[in-house]
Structure 1
Amino acid sequence: MTAPTGRFRAYTPAAYDFPLPEGHRFPSYKYAGVRDRLSPLLPVLDTPALPWADAGRVHDPLWLRRWRRGEVTRAEERAFGLPWSPGVVERARRAAGGSLAALHDARRVGWGANLAGGTHHAFRDRAEGLCLVNDAALLTRMALNGGLARRVAVLDLDVHQGNGTAALLGAESRAFTLSIHGERNYPFRKEHSSLDLGLGDGVTDAAYLAVLRGQALPALDAFRPDLLLYLAGVDVLAGDRFGRFALTLDGVRERNRAVLTWARKADVPVVTMMAGGYNRDHALTVEAHASVVLDGLDVFS
């Protein structure tokens, strides 16, 4: 496969690492792995830094300032799931900056790809579940208020409900948040998305794809967005340490193609974000995350 020269590109924060305790669950390996897998196929650029003023469009500016300065409590660190460091804050800023850059690409050529982001557990003044800046909510707010879109859909296919996104956009009638997630999985106190499709443990390809095609995509048809944000989490795979689904890589790729084909046929610009993936098989995690870009190149070329 070869990429259309000069048309599509992707963004990665892989160069912006941060210290982790030994054995920590954060899968830092996958960002460089996905970059290296895709860089022969299309330009993969370092993510720009998100301006803090933009982050303040959805987050409490005073709370953001405390995080920038390291004025956080142990309880806040525990909820976040990562120890505070200047590097982890910069990484969060870079991951969100990649999503914003991908939004501008989507507006230009129909699809933009961030090889990070999808940090959907971040609330207005609370970090949770490895998420500090909620890029999906931020892009939605910026697109709507900046005249880039009139109606924005967030399709969250991470195995965990995007509770922060649902809370941040719950009062926004021009946004539609749709989540297919594990009903018995984290977060154990769910927020209310526009449409929540909670599934039981052990879901396989056929059952998952039936819900996607039979309920999720028709709901997008009914909402008629003019921008789609797609959180392409791969923690739906069998063997994920924090997922309880049983999809195969083929199933994940069929999911990706269904979503991206819907966007292309509907002429709706789409931004793809990495979201979660913690498989015991590291090579599978990398290939699954890369697959959304591989499938995007097929669908949009």
Structure 2
Amino acid sequence: IRAVGGSLLAAEQALEHGLACHLAGGTHHAHYDHPAGFCIFNDLAVISHYLLESGRVNRVLIFDCDVHQGDGTARILEHTPDAITVSLHCEKNFPARKAQSDWDIGLPMGMGDTEYLQVVDEALNYLLPLYQPDLVLYDAGVDVHKDDALGYLKLTDEGVAARDESVMRHCLGRDIPVVGVIGGGYSKDRKALARRHGILHHSAQKVWLSSGGH
């Protein structure tokens, strides 16, 4: 519950300032009535419903870059037309039975930095002008990393950082507030995993300072 509250607070900070990140969140496998895939409550869906129903936003776009499909988010928000679900994931990976997001971008196993970043760039260049959301919820899962235990993609630290920077620059460049949550990451080396999750926050600071934020 506290993690969901943190994601909601980060979303409110993003709406106020333009950019915010949370040290948790991205629990996109949780469904209406049951947990799944290490996820108990779906913060992305809760934020979307809360902000839409309260009138804080008219449209929200979830850009989910966790290596696994955001199946819970897709199912919870299936009948919420103003919450656009976009899942950029490794096609042959958990969950075995995929849900249907508004946009599912399935990637082949073994994809590396260059090809992945091109997909991210092309997706945002198409989807952000198309939907013109009032807020982007960015699930910055680091299980796309080449050393992740459950990933099957081959991004480097530099590739993850470039992805995070790209998403935030695309949004801020169009004056769309963006909130980043950490999403998935799996490794027995906890220090290495923590550093990987920290990339989001370092990238956010870099983008924020270069955009003239204080």
Give the TM-score normalised by structure 1. Answer: 0.68
Structure 2 stretches of 5 or more lacking a match? 210-214
Deviation at 1:150, TM superposition (A): 0.5
Deviation at 1:213, TM superposition (A): 1.0
Deviation at 1:283, TM superposition (A): 3.2
Residues 107-156 of structure 1: CA deviation (Å, up to 9, x unaligned): 22111211011000011001101111100001001111111111100000
2:64 corresponds to which of 151, 156, 159: 156
* RMSD after superposition: 1.1
Q: What is the rounded CA distance, in whole Å, between the counterparts of 1:224 and 1:280 in structure 2? A: 40
Tell me, yes or no, if the aligned pair for 1:230 and 1:270 is still in contact at 8 Å: yes
1:132 corresponds to which of 40, 51, 71: 40
Matching residue of 1:96: 4
Deviation at 1:280, TM superposition (A): 4.8
Secondary structure at 1:257's aligned position in 2? helix
Matching residue of 1:190: 98
Q: What is the rounded CA distance, in whole Å, between the counterparts of 1:114 and 1:250 in structure 2? A: 21
After the TM superposition, list the runs of 4 or more consecutive aligned residues in structure 1 that deviate by more than 4 angstroms.
Answer: none
Q: What is the rounded CA distance, in whole Å, between the counterparts of 2:125 and 2:66 in structure 1? A: 16
Give the TM-score normalised by structure 2. Answer: 0.94
Residues 66-103 of structure 1: CA deviation (Å, up to 9, x unaligned): xxxxxxxxxxxxxxxxxxxxxxxxxxx11111101111
Deviation at 1:191, TM superposition (A): 0.4
Residues 252-271 of structure 1: CA deviation (Å, up to 9, x unaligned): 00000100001111111111
Deviation at 1:284, TM superposition (A): 3.0
2:173 corresponds to which of 265, 269, 280: 265
Residues 182-233 of structure 1: CA deviation (Å, up to 9, x unaligned): 1110001000001000011111001111111123442222111010000000
Tell me, yes or no, if the aligned pair for 2:133 and 2:176 is still in contact at 8 Å: yes
Structure (1 or 2) with the larger CA radius of gyration: 1
Tell me, yes or no, if the aligned pair for 1:158 and 1:236 is still in contact at 8 Å: yes
Tell me, yes or no, if the aligned pair for 2:124 and 2:167 is still in contact at 8 Å: no
Residues 28-87 of structure 1: CA deviation (Å, up to 9, x unaligned): xxxxxxxxxxxxxxxxxxxxxxxxxxxxxxxxxxxxxxxxxxxxxxxxxxxxxxxxxxxx
Aligned residues: percent identity? Answer: 40
Matching residue of 2:151: 243
Structure 1 stretches of 5 or more lacking a match? 1-92
Q: What is the rounded CA distance, in whole Å, between the counterparts of 1:297 and 1:290 in structure 2? A: 11
Deviation at 1:281, TM superposition (A): 4.3
Query: 1:136 and 1:283, CA in 2 relative to 1: closer, same or farther beyond 3 A?
Result: same
1:220 corresponds to which of 128, 151, 154: 128
Q: What is the rounded CA distance, in whole Å, between the counterparts of 2:113 and 2:190 in structure 1? A: 21
Give the paired residue count: 209
